[in-house]
Amino acid sequence: MDDMQIIDLYWQRSETAISETSNKYGKYCHYIAFNILNNKEDSEECVNDTYMQAWNNIPPHRPSVLKTFLGKITRNLALDKYKYLTAKKRNNGHMPLIFEELKECLPTLDNTENIIDDITLTEILNRFLASLPAEKRKIFMRRYWYLSTIKEIAADYKMNESKIKMSLLRSRNELKKLLEKEGISL
Amino acid sequence: MNEKRILNILSQVDEKYIKEAEPVIKTKNNKIQNKWTYIAACFITVAILITGVFQIGKLHTNKDIVILDSGEIITFYKSYINVSSLDANISIGKNLTAKEIKMLFEDLPVTAFSYFDSEHNNIVGLEGKINNIKIIISKSGTQLSDTEITGKEKASTVNGISVNAGYFISKANSNGIKTAIYYSSFMLKDNVIYLENAGVEEDIETLKNELAAVIQQLIQIGEFDLNILEHV
């Protein structure tokens, strides 16, 4: 079933929409959730919550790309759940490492007067992504959007792990430079 | 806290970037398909290796030269660019200050940042640009460049320094444009210098002459003491 038909099912309030979504995008959503939560049950719960949010948002929403629409919901839900589980010290995945890596992107400026809003920061991130060569951008997104492990990215892009690490290191450095050039703080 | 903000805001980036980086989720069908892909790849590899044996001879006949003012010749051999293994425990230091650049490179127009060994905090190299030319300087034994030259036969000699040089021309892109990359590596004391100048194929004369000029200037400057660089 194509995405338009699945979205139509949501609009018709047909519960088949959920099973069709699960058949087509269940594994994709589970992949995103598991990379963040590192736990099968928590990830399944998160994916089920994704279907619920999709059900509540369509209608009135009509996503242009259903897959990324669902992926975004899963990612946000999983990050919220990760925050909750971390507070209860119930997560031992690779997220702390990802946070450590992202710390390197933070500008060293002491400029608390110029803290930017989310919309401006999104615009800067889009500009930063547009400036990267396609391969470097995909590697960056795999690591920090899909939260994939270095090993997995290396296998998917047929590169060795050290090359992936170096690509990420350079991208983080470029992001840091851009943020500093804009003279902003986070 | 702020790194968490970046991670959260990334959710809002343009969907085309999310879609572009989509992972291939492995299913049972994928695994069966992968098995056949693997078998097919084995046959292709054998075919490429057999073809390669006949191609090696051709590669060695392709070379390009630059004659320096001193009369010395740098020979660039048509080569492969290989992806090489990079050292993993490296962190980026800071951008070099004008003073540090002056001390290391005299009047060359360099912009660069340093690399440090994240375990021991020792300087391991730097990366930057001299105009359009990429430069990576790494302490001997540290791999900072993700490319390496293979297929070269003989090194050239400039001012007593042995210089390996090569070039690579890509296949034409969808607009029919080929990219040429001229590169060189040589050692100055205990540092490995890697230089790379890339551009469109039409500009190869400019690319190699610019690169040759920088090779000569760096060798004239001589040994680099990277230990003058300060950590962040």
- Whether chain B has a CB inside 8 Å of the CB on A87: the answer is no
Confidence of residue B71 (pLDDT cuts 50, 70, 90): confident
* CA-to-CA separations, A54 to A41, A101, B168, in angstroms, rounded: 20, 32, 50
Q: Round to whole Å and give the CA distance between B130 and B195.
A: 9
Q: pLDDT tens across A75-101, in order?
A: 999 999 998 888 766 656 788 889 889
A77 and A154, same domain (yes or no) = no
Q: Which amino acid is at B163?
A: V
Q: What is the pLDDT of residue B180?
A: 86
On whether both A138 and A100 belong to a single domain, the answer is yes
> Is pLDDT at B84 greater than 60 in this prediction?
no
Do A40 and A105 belong to one domain? Answer: no
Same domain, A64 and A101: no
Rounded alpha-carbon distances, angstroms, from residue B91 to A78, A94, A101: 29, 19, 10
Same domain, A8 and A79: yes
Is residue A75 domain-shared with residue A110, that is, in the same domain? no
Q: How many domains does chain A have?
A: 2
Give the integer Cα–Cα distance in Å for A39 and B74: 58
Q: Do B7 and A28 touch (CB under 8 A)?
A: no
What residue type is assigned to position A75 of the chain? Answer: R
pLDDT at B51: 53
Q: Which residue has the tokens 């608390």?
A: A112
| Cα(B189)–Cα(A3) distance, integer angstroms | 62
- Tell me what pLDDT residue B57 has: 41
CATH label of the domain that carries residue A27: 1.10.1740.10
Residue B143, pLDDT score? 67
Does the structure show a pLDDT above 60 at A120?
yes
- Cross-chain residue pair B27–A152, CB shorter than 8 Å: no
Q: What's the confidence (pLDDT) of residue B232? A: 54
pLDDT in tens, B158-192: 888 888 888 888 777 777 788 888 888 888 888 88
CA trace torsion B24, A163, A124, A119 (10° rounding): 40
The CATH number of whichever domain residue A114 belongs to comes to 1.20.140.160
Question: What's the pLDDT at A73?
Answer: 96
Average predicted confidence (pLDDT) for chain A: 88
Residue B81: pLDDT band with limits 50, 70, 90: low
Alpha-carbon dihedral sign for residues B142, A98, B13, A124? negative
Which residues 148-207 of B are in CB contact (within 8 Å) with A? none
- For chain B, the average pLDDT equals 77
Residues A75 and A101 grouped into a single domain: no
Q: Which of A38-42, A129-133, B69-73 has the lowest mean pLDDT?
A: B69-73
In terms of CA atoms, which chain A residue is nearest residue B20? A138
In a domain? residue A186: no
Res. B85: pLDDT tops 50: no
Has residue A178 got a pLDDT over 70? yes
More confident residue, B213 or B147: B213
Range of the domain at A162: 95-181
Q: Is residue A52 domain-shared with residue A102, that is, in the same domain?
A: no
Q: Which residue has the higher pLDDT, B232 or A52?
A: A52
Same domain, A133 and A165: yes
Cβ-nearest to B6 among A65, A102, A126? A102
Scanning every residue of chain B, which has its alpha carbon at the shortest distance from the alpha carbon of A83?
B4
Three-class DSSP category at A95: helix
Do A133 and A153 fall into the same domain?
yes
A157 touches chain B (CB under 8 A): no
Mutate to test the interface with A, among B5, B16, B22, B113 (most CBs of A within 10 A): B22
CA-nearest of B21, B8, B25 to A141 is B21
Contact B74, B161 (CB under 8 A): no
In this model, does residue A70 exceed pLDDT 50?
yes
What backbone phi and psi angles, to 5 degrees, belong to B190? Answer: -105, 20
Number of A–B residue contacts, CB under 8 Å:
119
A144 → closest Cβ in B7, B23, B113 = B7
Residues A103 and A172 in one domain: yes
